Structure 1
Amino acid sequence: FSINMGIIPLPMIWGGRMIDNGKGKQAIVIGGILFSLGFILSGFVDNLPMLFLTYGVIAGLGSGLAFTGNLNNILKFFPDRRGLASGIVLAGVGVGTLLCTRLAEYFMAQTHDVSRALLYLGIVYLVVIFIVQFFIRSAPAKDSGGIKASPLDKDYRHMLKDLRFWLLFMILALGVFSGMVISSSSAQIGMTQYGLLSGALVVSLVSIFNSIGRLFWGGLTDKLGGYNTLVIVYLFTCLCMLLLFFFNGNTSVFYFSALGVGFAYAGILVIFPGLTSQNFGMRNQGLNYGFMYFGFAVGAVIAPYVTSAIAKYTGSYNTVFILTTVLLLIGVVLTLITKKYVATVLAKIH
C-alpha cells in the first residue's frame, strides 16, 4: 500500500502532461489498463517482491494516471466551478472504493483464494474501462485555443521556484498526515481504546462520510474560497482530535470524531486542485497538480508509520491526537499566511 501511494505522483506528472496536450482520454484509458493489469498479474505471483512490482508499482502507476486523467481533465471543462467539479469526481472515487471493497469481499467469500480474487477484480476493472472509454472526451489542448491564456499561467519549472507552491505543499502534507491518522488506523484505535469488538463498521462509515464530504466541501469551496474553507476543515479536524484525547473510552465520541475526521479530510482532497489552478493557471494544471500531489504522498506515506510507532511506544494513541492537533494548527497559521501572501502576489500580476 505504501509503495502504491508513494508512486502515484510519478504517473500524475506523466498524465498531467498528456492532459495539458489534449490527451486526457488516453491518460484515463492507459491508467485503467495498467491498474487492471496490476491486479491480474498479482493473481499469478507467489512471492512478496513480485507483489510489490505488480500491485505496488504497476497498479500504482495505473491508479495515478487514471486519477489525474479524470480529475484534471474535468477541471478544464469547468474552470468556474472547480470545487464542485473536483468534489463530484472525488466522490466518485470514494463510492468506487466502497463498491470495489464489497466486490473483493464477494470474490474472497466465493473463492477463499486471495490470488483468484485479485485476478477476478482485475478482469472486472478491465471490462469497466473498456466500456466507459466510449463516453470519455478529452479537454482541449492548452495550445489549441480551447483554454485562454492568463497572466497566472506558469509551467512547472517556474512553479517550483515560487514560494506559493512550497507553502501549499506544506499545508497539503500536514492536512493529509492528519487525515491519514484516522483513515489508516480507525479500526485499531476503536478496538484498542474504545472497546469496539470489530473495526469493520467504523471503517465503512468513515469511507461513506468521506465520500459525502467531497461533495459538500466542493460546493462550499466555490462559495467561500479555498483558503477560508481549508481553515474550517483544519479547525474542525482539530476539534475531533481533541475530543478523542479528552473523552478517551467514550464510544459515541469516537464515532463522532472518526466520522468527522473522515468528512473533513475529504475537503483537503477537493480544495487543492482548485488552489493549484488558482495560483498557477489552467493551461498547465495537469502537470502542475502532479507535482503538488507529492505533498499528498508525503503525508499519506509517513502518517501510518508515525502513528503505529507512537502507539507502540506509548501504549495508546493519545500522543498521536495531540501531535495531529499541533500539526493542524500549524497548517491553519500557514494557510492564513499563504492567503495574505497570495493576495499580494495576485494583485501585482493583475
Structure 2
Amino acid sequence: MMLVKWLKEVRAHPPPWQGVVVCVCGFLLELSLGAIFSYGNLTTYMTSYMRDRVDPTIDYPQLMWVAASLSFFEGLTLSLGSWMTNRIGARWTAFIGCSLVTSGVSLCYFGVQHSVWLVALLFGVINGLGVGIAYVVPLICGMSWFPTSKGTSNGFIVGGFGLGALVFNSIQTAFLNPDNVSPGKDNYFTDQALLDKVPYVFLLTGGIYVGLQTVAIAGMLRRRVTQTDADGIDVPAAVEMQSAVAETLDDSVEEGGAADYNSSLTLRQAVRTLPFWMLFLTYLCNNLCIGFINPLWKTFGQKFIHDDQFLSLVGSAASVFNLLGRIIWGFVNDRANYKVAMVGVAGLLMTTFATLYLTSYGGKAMFFIWVCLIYMSFPGTFSVIPAEVAHTFGLQHTGVIYGMIWLSGGLVAPIPVFFTSLLLEKYGYLALFLTSAIFPTISTICTVAFNGERVRQQRLEDKPACI
C-alpha cells in the first residue's frame, strides 16, 4: 500500500529527473530502430549466403527490394504511430511497434534460408511497419516533458536513430567476419564458416533488440500537463504535432506564437499551394538518394577495397555523420533560412553522387570521405523540411502535412531498384551514380525556385492560400 501510494504521488508530482530518464529511454529505443541503417553492411553477407545456399541467380539488385519495402512501409505507418500514441498510450504503441520490429528481424533466421521475397516480407514489410509505428513515440514523450525545449529533446532522442548503424555494423561484422575474410572476385563471400553464421546474426540482433527495447518501453511516459507553454500553446496540442517538430532544432517565439498557430493551413488547403508540391518533390528526390546508397555503398567499395573490417568502419563512421548531418543542417536552417540549408544538402548530394565512382581510383581515404559526406548530407532533409513546413503552413496541422510529404519517400521506393536492375549489370556503377545525381539536381532547382513566404503572409493575413 505504501508503494502504491508513493507511485501515485510520483505520477501526480513527477520529479524533474524523470523527464531525463524518458529521453534516455527514448534514445535507446531509437538506437534499436536505427539498426535499419546497417542494412548496407548486412546485405553483402545476406546476398552471398542466399546465392550460395538458396539460389545461385540471386544478386545484389534483387536484395534491394528488401530496402525498398522497408522504406515504403516505414513511411506508411509514421502517422499511425502518432494516432495510436494518443489513443492507446505511449507504452502500448511502443510495445506493438517494437514487437513487429523484433519479430520481423528475428524470423529472418528462417527467411534467409528460403527466398528473397520472404526476407522482404519479414525484414522489409513487418520490420518497416514496426519502425514507423515506434519511431514517433519517444519524440512525443520527450516533448511532453520539455515543452519549451522540443528541439533539444528531439535532437538527443533522434541521435540514437542516427547512431544505430555504428553499433550494429560493428556487432554484425565482429560476429560474422572476425577474421576479416574478403569476398571473391565476383564480389560475393564464399567462405563457408562465415556463411554458416549468417542466419544466426538475425537471432543475435533480435536478442539485442529485446534488451534495449524492454528498458526503453518502461520509460515511455508522457507528462500529464494542462498548463500552456511559454508561447501560449496548450502543451498536449503541441505534443500531438510530433511530426512538425520531430527533428527541428529550434523553435522561436514567432514560430510558436498564437497568431502563427491559429492561422495554420489544413492539409486540404496546403495541397492547393505550389510550395507544398515543391517541398514534396524536394523530399522525394532526396529520399531517392537513400534508396541508392544505403544498400550499395559497401558492394561498390568491395570491388576495389578488399578489407571487410575497414568497410565496416566506414559504415560506423557514416552513422556518426548521419547524426551530425541532422544537427548541422538544422542549425544552418535556423541561423540562415530554408533555401541556404536545402541548397547545401542537395548540392552536396549532387556533387558526391556525381563523383562517387572516382573513389575507385582514389582508394580507401577518398571512399571513406565520400560515403561520410553522403551520409552527412541527406539526413538534413529530415531536419530542414519539417521546419519549413511549420514555417510556411503553421504548426497546428503540420503533423498531417509533413506526414503526407514523408509518404512520398515510400511511394517511390521501387525506383532505385528499377534503375539498379536496369543499369548496374549492363553499364556498371558509373552510369548508376550519374543517374542518381539527377535527383538531387532536381531538388536543387526546386529549392532555388521555392517561395513559401507568400503563403505564410497570406495565411497570417487570414487570406486563403492558392497556387
Indicate the TM-score class for this superposition, using the shorter chain for normalisation.
0.7 to 0.9
Match of 1:314 in 2: 427
Give, as a single letter, the amino acid of the residue that structure 2 aligns with 1:34: L
Larger mean Cα displacement after TM superposition, 272-281 or 133-142: 133-142
1:349 is paired with a residue of what secondary structure?
Answer: helix
Deviations along 1:11-62, one digit per CA (max 9) or x if unpaired, are 1121132356694554333211221122233345553354443332222111
Matches within 5 A, 1:126-275: 126-138=210-222, 145-146=234-235, 147=237, 150-192=261-303, 195-198=304-307, 199-244=311-356, 249-251=361-363, 252-275=365-388
Structure 2 CA distance for partners of 1:55 and 1:223, relative to 1, 3 Å: same
Larger mean Cα displacement after TM superposition, 280-289 or 133-142: 133-142
Output the CA distance in 2 between the equivalents of 1:226 and 1:85. Answer: 22
Output the CA distance in 2 between the equivalents of 1:287 and 1:188. Answer: 37
Name which one, 1 or 2, has greater alpha-carbon Rg.
2
> Post-superposition shift, 1:84?
5.6
1:70 pairs with one of 117, 121, 138:
138
Normalized per residue, the structure richer in helix is: 1
Contact residue 12 and residue 287 of structure 1 kept, 8 A: no
Output the CA distance in 2 between the equivalents of 1:249 and 1:282. Answer: 48
Match of 2:168 in 1: 100
Give, as a single letter, the amino acid of the residue that structure 2 aligns with 1:302: I
Structure with the bigger RCO (C-alpha within 8 Å, sep 6+) is 1
Deviations along 1:221-267, one digit per CA (max 9) or x if unpaired, are 32223332111111222332344467762224443322211211221
1:345 pairs with one of 451, 455, 463:
455
Structure 2 CA distance for partners of 1:25 and 1:168, relative to 1, 3 Å: farther
1:232 is paired with a residue of what secondary structure?
Answer: helix
Structure 1 alignment gaps of length 5 or more:
none
Contact residue 138 and residue 220 of structure 2 kept, 8 A: no
Give, as a single letter, the amino acid of the residue that structure 1 aligns with 2:377: A
**Does residue 333 in structure 1 map to residue 441 in structure 2?**
no
Give, as a single letter, the amino acid of the residue that structure 2 aligns with 1:203: G
Output the CA distance in 1 between the equivalents of 2:93 and 2:225. Answer: 13
Q: How many residues align?
A: 345
Contact residue 177 and residue 300 of structure 1 kept, 8 A: yes
2:316 is paired with a residue of what secondary structure?
Answer: helix
Larger mean Cα displacement after TM superposition, 279-288 or 323-332: 279-288
Deviations along 1:101-125, one digit per CA (max 9) or x if unpaired, are 3334455579944444323422331
Structure 2 alignment gaps of length 5 or more:
1-65, 179-193, 239-257, 461-467
Contact residue 24 and residue 139 of structure 1 kept, 8 A: no
Contact residue 28 and residue 69 of structure 1 kept, 8 A: yes
Deviations along 1:299-329, one digit per CA (max 9) or x if unpaired, are 55422542453232223x3333433333323
Match of 1:36 in 2: 102
Contact residue 86 and residue 273 of structure 1 kept, 8 A: no
Output the CA distance in 2 between the equivalents of 1:249 and 1:300. Answer: 30
TM-score between the two structures when normalised by the length of structure 1: 0.82
**Does residue 14 in structure 1 map to residue 80 in structure 2?**
yes
Output the CA distance in 1 between the equivalents of 2:406 and 2:382. Answer: 10
**Does residue 55 in structure 1 map to residue 123 in structure 2?**
yes
> Post-superposition shift, 1:158?
4.2
1:260 is paired with a residue of what secondary structure?
Answer: helix
Larger mean Cα displacement after TM superposition, 152-161 or 181-190: 152-161
Name the % identity.
21
Give, as a single letter, the amino acid of the residue that structure 1 aligns with 2:337: G
Contact residue 22 and residue 139 of structure 1 kept, 8 A: no
Output the CA distance in 1 between the equivalents of 2:208 and 2:366. Answer: 39
> Post-superposition shift, 1:294?
1.7
Larger mean Cα displacement after TM superposition, 25-34 or 111-120: 111-120
**Does residue 5 in structure 1 map to residue 92 in structure 2?**
no
> Post-superposition shift, 1:191?
3.8
Give, as a single letter, the amino acid of the residue that structure 2 aligns with 1:320: L
Deviations along 1:250-297, one digit per CA (max 9) or x if unpaired, are 224443322211211221232223233333443444444332212222
Deviations along 1:93-148, one digit per CA (max 9) or x if unpaired, are 12123213333445557994444432342233133222122322337799993236
Output the CA distance in 2 between the equivalents of 1:47 and 1:246. Answer: 37
Structure 2 CA distance for partners of 1:300 and 1:275, relative to 1, 3 Å: farther
Structure 2 CA distance for partners of 1:328 and 1:42, relative to 1, 3 Å: closer
Contact residue 104 and residue 126 of structure 2 kept, 8 A: yes
Larger mean Cα displacement after TM superposition, 285-294 or 164-173: 285-294
Output the CA distance in 2 between the equivalents of 1:277 and 1:139. Answer: 24
Match of 1:121 in 2: 205
Output the CA distance in 1 between the equivalents of 2:382 and 2:84. Answer: 22
Match of 2:248 in 1: none
Structure 2 CA distance for partners of 1:12 and 1:190, relative to 1, 3 Å: same
Contact residue 43 and residue 116 of structure 1 kept, 8 A: yes
Give, as a single letter, the amino acid of the residue that structure 1 aligns with 2:162: G
